[in-house]
């Protein structure tokens, strides 16, 4: 059992868990499909949890989250996209977010809006492989008919369609009821049925929703374990996106402010998810992942931590693009691994497909690579040496090994895009905060060649990619 886990609060969950303990585990042996629990935080920086230098120095220890890495694999160079929707798209499709914005003729889609029905999602791949698929939390990949999670491969969903900043609206003194703007609502859905709108997503609901998300996930895991069906529990929490409001049970609990309270709360909730897996006897049959969609919020009053890295979300710097990534698969992934080799969010799709024997689509470009051999220590290095960096539809630069080239910069106050007269080069080992561009040092000009090659190969791929046929 994981440390510091909170006792399950739902009697139905206790009953189902007890029943499940009386039957054989969902899966056993290397030939069986593992269950998957995937926890994704919202705007949660690199420096928040203990194994990344946070935890107690951030006002709240995180023993449960830390245990995932201690019992498995920790990446110190896990890369995502600079915004919520592109990151979630990349996770769901194994493709850079820019590809979802391509029209058939190859012209940019423009303003970002979710996934098209043409995309094959992680949930669809797993569903086709025989998995029960449940999502509990923030979607942010479409909020219209045909675009909800249960239209994209999930059997059931409880959560919010968009972003937590909408929780400010109902409590705003300037909100105008005759504006035609509707309050955001918590939603529930079952595959094949029209999603239902429930409570208004205001500040009070914002404080309790991650508790409810956890309860729904616990219930789903227990039900599917009892049915002896492999499951995919996708748990994209709403924290630590603004507003950072702790549950009443945790408000003031640390004495270190709301952010530390929410950090303690999140560690306890993750502990509950770990504990139900362990107590059901599914530890060696379950892949458990903890990560984030991007770095900390960009506004100054948000007190998130990016650790040693510069920048926030919506920037091309490591504080935006490098986040925690921990994966546990006991008996398969050796404990205590830590690596600074590059891994990207787009790699999760093909990696999980490899672990479960799922089919990868062959009628489109898949940017992700299968890292299962790397995580299980069958390969000594990552299969990825580079990533491309976009903000919106603009290509900002590329990373290759420990080097980064930026073609553009962003004003960290106004978010205005600034074109650079000359590219900036950074050695992320020597200069992790990206403070001193290497463009004036002649001894390092060799690195332009592999960096430009990464960019050119990507652009050629994009040019040949017709994208999804229609909207």
Catalytic residues: 84, 140
Burial 53-65 (b: 16+ CB within 10 A, else e): ebbeebbbbbbbb
CA nearest 393: which of 413, 374, 414, 408? 408
- Give the distance, in angstroms, between the CA of residue 420 and the centroid of all CA atoms in the same chain: 30
DSSP label of 108: B
DSSP label of 171: G
Residue 243, preceding peptide bond in cis (omega within 30° of 0): yes
Provide the H-helix boundaries in 101-151: 122-128
Q: Are strands 73-79 and 343-344 parallel, antiparallel or unpaired?
A: parallel
Q: Answer for the pair 99, 365: CB distance below 8 angstroms, yes or no.
A: yes
- What is the rounded distance in angstroms from the CA atom of residue 267 to the CA atom of residue 61? 8
Torsions phi, psi of 457, nearest 5?
-65, -40
- What is the rounded distance in angstroms from the CA atom of residue 405 to the CA atom of residue 408? 9
- What is the rounded distance in angstroms from the CA atom of residue 323 to the CA atom of residue 78? 6
Q: Answer for the pair 447, 425: CB distance below 8 angstroms, yes or no.
A: yes
Torsions phi, psi of 236, nearest 5?
-85, 95
| Torsion, Cα of 137, 139, 143, 148 (10° steps) | -90
- What is the rounded distance in angstroms from the CA atom of residue 137 to the CA atom of residue 235? 6
Tell me the HSE value of 120 on the side-chain side, using a 13 A CA sphere.
17
For tokens 């691994």, name the residue.
Answer: 337
Sign of CA dihedral 89, 93, 95, 101: negative
Q: Answer for the pair 347, 368: CB distance below 8 angstroms, yes or no.
A: yes
Contacts for 259 with CB less than 8 Å, ≥ 6 apart: 58, 59, 240, 244, 303, 304
What stretch of H or E contains 456? helix 448-464
């Amino acid at each position: 059992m994981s440390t510091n886990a909170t006792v399950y609060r739902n009697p139905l969950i206790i009953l189902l868990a007890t029943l499940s303990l009386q039957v054989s585990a969902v899966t056993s042996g290397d030939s069986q499909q593992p269950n998957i629990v995937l926890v994704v935080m919202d705007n949660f920086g690199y420096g928040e949890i203990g194994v990344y230098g946070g935890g107690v120095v951030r006002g709240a220890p995180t023993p449960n989250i830390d245990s995932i890495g201690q019992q498995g694999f920790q990446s110190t160079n896990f890369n995502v996209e600079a915004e919520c929707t592109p990151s979630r798209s990349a996770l769901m499709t194994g493709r850079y977010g820019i590809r979802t914005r391509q029209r058939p003729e190859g012209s940019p889609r423009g303003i970002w809006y979710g996934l098209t029905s043409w995309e094959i999602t992680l949930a669809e791949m797993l569903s086709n492989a025989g998995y029960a698929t449940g999502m509990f939390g923030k979607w942010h990949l479409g909020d219209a008919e045909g675009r909800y999670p249960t239209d994209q491969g999930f059997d059931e969903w409880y959560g919010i369609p968009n972003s937590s900043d909408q929780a400010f609206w109902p409590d705003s003194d300037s909100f105008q009821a005759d504006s035609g703007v509707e309050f955001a609502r918590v939603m529930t859905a079952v595959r094949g049925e029209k999603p239902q709108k429930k409570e208004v997503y205001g500040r009070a609901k914002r404080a309790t929703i991650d508790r409810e998300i956890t309860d729904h996930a616990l219930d789903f895991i227990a039900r599917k374990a009892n049915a002896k069906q492999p499951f995919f529990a996708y748990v994209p929490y709403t924290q630590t996106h603004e507003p950072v409001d702790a549950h009443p049970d945790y408000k003031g609990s640390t004495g270190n402010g709301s952010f530390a309270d929410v950090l303690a709360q999140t560690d306890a909730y993750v502990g509950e998810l770990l504990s139900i897996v362990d107590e059901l006897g599914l530890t060696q049959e379950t892949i458990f992942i903890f990560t984030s969609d991007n770095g900390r919020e960009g506004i100054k009053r948000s007190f998130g931590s990016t650790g040693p890295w510069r920048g926030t979300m919506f920037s091309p710097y490591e504080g935006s693009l490098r986040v925690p990534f921990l994966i546990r698969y006991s008996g398969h992934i050796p404990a205590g691994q830590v690596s600074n080799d590059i891994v990207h969010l787009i790699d999760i799709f093909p990696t999980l497909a490899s672990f479960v024997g799922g089919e990868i689509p062959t009628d489109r470009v898949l940017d992700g690579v299968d890292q299962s051999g790397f995580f299980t220590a069958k390969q000594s290095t990552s299969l990825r040496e580079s990533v491309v960096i976009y903000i919106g539809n603009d290509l900002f630069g590329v990373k290759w090994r420990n080097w980064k080239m930026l073609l553009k910069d962003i004003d960290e106050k106004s978010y205005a895009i600034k074109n650079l007269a000359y590219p900036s080069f950074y050695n992320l080992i020597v200069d992790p905060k990206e403070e001193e561009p290497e463009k004036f040092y002649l001894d390092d000009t060799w690195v332009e060649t592999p960096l430009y090659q990464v960019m050119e190969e990507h652009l050629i791929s994009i040019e040949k990619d017709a994208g999804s046929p229609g909207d």
